[in-house]
Structure 1
Amino acid sequence: MTNSNFNTIVLAAGKGTRMHSAIPKPLHELCGRSMLSLILDSASQAGAQKNYVIVPEKHKEFLNHLTTNSILVTQKEPKGTGHAVLQAEKQINENLPLIVINGDTPLIESETLKKLITKHQTHRATATIVTFNSKHTTNFGRIKRDPKGKITKIIEEINLTNNQTHINEINCGIYCFDTNWIWNSLKGLNLSATNEFFITDLIEIAHSQNKIIESIEPTNEYEISGINNLIDLSNAEKHMRERINYSLMSKGVKIIDPKATYIDLNVKIGQDTIINPNSYIYGNSSIGENCTIGPSTQIYNSKIGDNTNINSSLIKNSTIYNYVEVGPSSHIRDNSIVNDNAKIGTNTEIKNSTIGSGTKSGHFSYLGDSKIGKNVNIGAGTITCNYDGEKKHETIIGDDSFIGSNSLLIAPINIGKNVITGAGSVVNKNIPDNSKAIGSPIKILKSDQKKGKKIGNS
């Protein structure tokens, strides 16, 4: 019976110079997740007991991309993949099979890693390699086999001779090794012409010792996509985005044009929601059922309830509840909450504010640092003047109030319940409940505790 437990080493210390980026190559993202985090997730899902991540000496950036079973191992000098693996020797005490994965293969799936460990254990192999017969062999080392089909070595692309370039079985950069064998073998590697020690040379050593060398093919060809530059990254992200969209559609989400829809891996969307073209849904966003999103909408790390429509608008780090309408061309910024049945119309900006149930802001308004009650009408052109040049101040508007068009609300200000302000009012002082206010600056007209005639236009 095979044992699914194993340890993993992820090679993430390389400079990645072909990326032409200050960001370490393994930390570049696909659909909202770094390459490193995707690999670690697949390894953990396959049964990895511990994930040892080989990182450069300056590795603070890596800390936010680890799984709970990850252990950082520093490679102080970049001396090649063989040298990188050897750095983990003193930290690995378990006699478990050791899977080694290049840190630029983010599409590798857990099922392929399970297949790798099963083949390795079933055949009692010393080394098992993920290989693939491919028409596209550029940038890959090749697998050399003897006439009986046994693997004898891995030839790095730079070392291929003219009569070896026809070999189309490629090395995918994913291996499984016997732990008892690998450490001494790594110490016996020869220095290459580039002053590096390559893990691929272990295969020739194993063959010379008559050790068992096995291989598997990945479950899907796309899994072996190595990321060497930003073009490769874009192609890999395109493939992942297609998988995400098709998975959502299979669960009842209607995506009008999958090729023009960009959804991150951690996003959750309920059934019967419609995603229109040129919509971008990022981070840990969630969208409920029966919503309509887009076209041309961006949502970042936000929660959207059920039966809500967001049209051509930008939502960031906010919560929008049920039966809400937003847009077109509105912007809901950080730390905002829009409650049930609210309507946020065209060209409205909301920042760090709570909008009560049934409240309407039809068009051309700015609501910043505000607490707005239920069933409030915000007239066109209303602005909360929340910044005095030094500090931000709060605006409070009570339930059932009517704010006339082009009102300027100079914070800090507290407008009571059932208040009416006239069009063009400059509100520079608090207004008690059941009052009317008009003018620049306002004059407060006390009402008879009943709703008076509304002054101004919505």
Structure 2
Amino acid sequence: MDVTAIIMAAGEGTRMKSKHAKVSHALLGKPMICWVVDAALDAGCDRVITVIGSHADEVRSILDAAYGERADAHVECVEQTERLGTAHAVRVALEATGVAAGPVVVLNGDLPLIEPATIRTFAQTVDGGAHAAAILTMTPPDPFGYGRIELDEAGSVARIVEQKDCTPEQAAGLLECNAGCYAFDGAQLAAHIGEVGCDNAQGEYYLPDMVEILKAAGQSVTIFHCDDYREGLGVNSRAQLAQLTAIARDRINERLMAEGITFIDPAQAWIGPDATVGRDTVVWPQTHLIGHCTVGEDCQLGPNTRLTDTRVGDRCIVDETVAVEAVLENDVDCGPRAYLRPGTHMLDGSKAGTHVEIKKSTIGRGSKVPHLSYIGDTTMGEGVNIGAGSITCNYDGKNKNATVIGDRTFIGSDTMMVAPVHIGSDAITGAGGTITKDVPDGALAIERTEQRIVEGYTERRRARL
């Protein structure tokens, strides 16, 4: 079954009160549009066509960044330059891509909670010719605002009654609500989409009109009921964005707990949909995993930790740490209040302690940067100890320069290592030194001015005040 997904992402989203596209707003660090695209891809859709319009360049750049280099993801953008309604958007997509056969699933770009299995089964309702179209329906606790589905005696869709047109009896009796997504037989869609008119107050071409058009052509239109109504919830405001983010958070955390992960407080941990966490890891409050994070087994994450596109091995402690595009191997200890910037690679048993910042550096096996230090553009051997307050001075105002520190070297507290510089293995630098020259293996490097004592200075100073 070759399935095409058309994702509607051209709307203005005025109720978001934002200068950005509505579908660019993120849930758990992931743009809303990517949730829907991923669901379509995971459902097995062969083509995913995203119709963009408002903020087209922004949405296109998001999709290019997420899918442009993926050989397994065929995601296309079609721009609806004139936004004349949902049926017009579908027609633009069909004309631009030539889709005219197989199931076509039309999804909204603001439905981040829809599941791949739902999309897959939804598409199957129009595969085989029994039905020309299907409407995704749900029964939310409060149906107000949704179009209601009226069925005929044979169980086919008779019509969609919009909320404003509902009589009190219909509002009370018609509980099947239109989620705004449709599945079509591609040939029937291509044959009849041009019949949708714009004779309405807004002068727009509405996709729901396809129901009556297909029925008039002697075709069957059915419903596909979504058991979990939350899959059909859309985002039209900041409040709804927060509500759906909380639902997504709970779904993910419940799944992880079922897989053997402990949450001290599941409501205070935000794990993105592309993150993986190993068994027996403990997640403390205010922990965020954003993007493609992988965490091994038996780790302690948090509290107050934010990891973005970071890999963490087994048995790591990551306490009050911000890490971006970093790699932590096994038995690594970070924090509290550590900052690991892109390119940080901490090998087995290494440590980044309190108020430590590391950037584009390798920290060797068992090496320690315990506190109050900055390490940048550095290759560090194993068993190194960096004293408090030490800095690799990697920037000369124009270029970033490298520092190399050999195995088992001891860097005294408050040492400034002015790059480019090479400090050998088994070396020692005295506290308070500024190291500007290479240090041989096994050597002691001391750089200090002679200490002077001025007797009676305090008493003479007070006399002058």
Does the pair score TM above 0.5? Answer: yes
CA positional deviation for 1:264? 0.8
Match of 2:112 in 1: 106
Taking a change above 3 Å as real, the CA distance of residues 146 and 64 of structure 1, as seen in their structure-2 partners, is same
The amino acid that maps onto 1:382 is S
Taking a change above 3 Å as real, the CA distance of residues 88 and 362 of structure 1, as seen in their structure-2 partners, is closer
Match of 2:18 in 1: 21
Taking a change above 3 Å as real, the CA distance of residues 102 and 149 of structure 1, as seen in their structure-2 partners, is same
Give the SS at the match of 2:126. helix
Give the SS at the match of 2:204. coil
CA positional deviation for 1:159? 4.6
Confirm or deny that 1:393 pairs with 2:390: no
Taking a change above 3 Å as real, the CA distance of residues 77 and 65 of structure 1, as seen in their structure-2 partners, is farther
Post-superposition CA distance 1:240-270 (Å, at most 9, x none): 1111111112112222211111111111111
Within the candidate set 141, 144, 163, 1:135 is matched to 141
Please tell me whether the aligned partners of residues 100 and 190 of structure 2 are also in contact (alpha carbons under 8 angstroms). no
Q: How does 1:263-274 map to 2 (within 5 A)?
A: 263-274=271-282
Confirm or deny that 1:172 pairs with 2:169: no
CA positional deviation for 1:173? 1.0
CA positional deviation for 1:368? 1.6
CA positional deviation for 1:33? 2.9
Match of 1:233 in 2: 241
* Between 270-279 and 117-126, the greater mean CA deviation after superposition: 117-126
Match of 1:76 in 2: 81
* Structure 1 Cα separation of the partners of residues 66 and 416 of structure 2: 46
Post-superposition CA distance 1:96-126 (Å, at most 9, x none): 1222112221211122223323333467112
Confirm or deny that 1:285 pairs with 2:293: yes
CA positional deviation for 1:432? 1.5
Please tell me whether the aligned partners of residues 94 and 100 of structure 2 are also in contact (alpha carbons under 8 angstroms). no
* Structure 2 Cα separation of the partners of residues 345 and 103 of structure 1: 43
Match of 1:451 in 2: none
CA positional deviation for 1:378? 1.0
Within the candidate set 97, 122, 125, 1:119 is matched to 125
The amino acid that maps onto 2:342 is D
Give the SS at the match of 1:86. helix
Confirm or deny that 1:55 pairs with 2:64: no
Post-superposition CA distance 1:406-458 (Å, at most 9, x none): 1222222221121112121222222222211223269xxxxxxxxxxxxxxxx
The amino acid that maps onto 1:299 is L
Please tell me whether the aligned partners of residues 337 and 354 of structure 1 are also in contact (alpha carbons under 8 angstroms). yes
CA positional deviation for 1:209? 4.0
Confirm or deny that 1:297 pairs with 2:311: no
Taking a change above 3 Å as real, the CA distance of residues 44 and 374 of structure 1, as seen in their structure-2 partners, is closer
The amino acid that maps onto 2:78 is V
Q: Percent identity?
A: 34
RMSD: 2.3
Within the candidate set 307, 312, 316, 2:320 is matched to 312
* Structure 2 Cα separation of the partners of residues 113 and 332 of structure 1: 39
Residue ranges of structure 1 left out of the alignment (5+ in a row): 443-458
TM-score norm. by structure 2 comes to 0.88
Within the candidate set 94, 98, 103, 1:92 is matched to 98
Give the SS at the match of 1:143. strand
* Structure 1 Cα separation of the partners of residues 421 and 48 of structure 2: 55
Give the SS at the match of 2:207. coil
Taking a change above 3 Å as real, the CA distance of residues 314 and 394 of structure 1, as seen in their structure-2 partners, is same
Runs ≥4 residues deviating over 6 A:
none
TM-score norm. by structure 1 comes to 0.89
Taking a change above 3 Å as real, the CA distance of residues 344 and 50 of structure 1, as seen in their structure-2 partners, is closer
Please tell me whether the aligned partners of residues 424 and 439 of structure 2 are also in contact (alpha carbons under 8 angstroms). yes
Post-superposition CA distance 1:261-288 (Å, at most 9, x none): 1111111111111111111111111111
Please tell me whether the aligned partners of residues 32 and 266 of structure 1 are also in contact (alpha carbons under 8 angstroms). no
Taking a change above 3 Å as real, the CA distance of residues 71 and 315 of structure 1, as seen in their structure-2 partners, is closer
Taking a change above 3 Å as real, the CA distance of residues 44 and 399 of structure 1, as seen in their structure-2 partners, is closer
Please tell me whether the aligned partners of residues 15 and 25 of structure 1 are also in contact (alpha carbons under 8 angstroms). yes
Residue ranges of structure 2 left out of the alignment (5+ in a row): 451-465
Please tell me whether the aligned partners of residues 403 and 422 of structure 1 are also in contact (alpha carbons under 8 angstroms). yes
CA positional deviation for 1:193? 0.8
Taking a change above 3 Å as real, the CA distance of residues 339 and 50 of structure 1, as seen in their structure-2 partners, is same
Taking a change above 3 Å as real, the CA distance of residues 363 and 52 of structure 1, as seen in their structure-2 partners, is closer
* Structure 2 Cα separation of the partners of residues 10 and 281 of structure 1: 27
Give the SS at the match of 2:110. coil
Match of 2:457 in 1: none
* Structure 2 Cα separation of the partners of residues 114 and 25 of structure 1: 25
Post-superposition CA distance 1:128-159 (Å, at most 9, x none): 11112333223422223346654222233455
CA positional deviation for 1:161? 5.6
Within the candidate set 331, 337, 349, 1:329 is matched to 337
* Structure 1 Cα separation of the partners of residues 318 and 285 of structure 2: 13
The amino acid that maps onto 2:358 is I
Give the SS at the match of 1:348. strand
Taking a change above 3 Å as real, the CA distance of residues 403 and 441 of structure 1, as seen in their structure-2 partners, is farther
Match of 2:160 in 1: 154
Give the SS at the match of 2:202. coil
Please tell me whether the aligned partners of residues 8 and 101 of structure 1 are also in contact (alpha carbons under 8 angstroms). yes
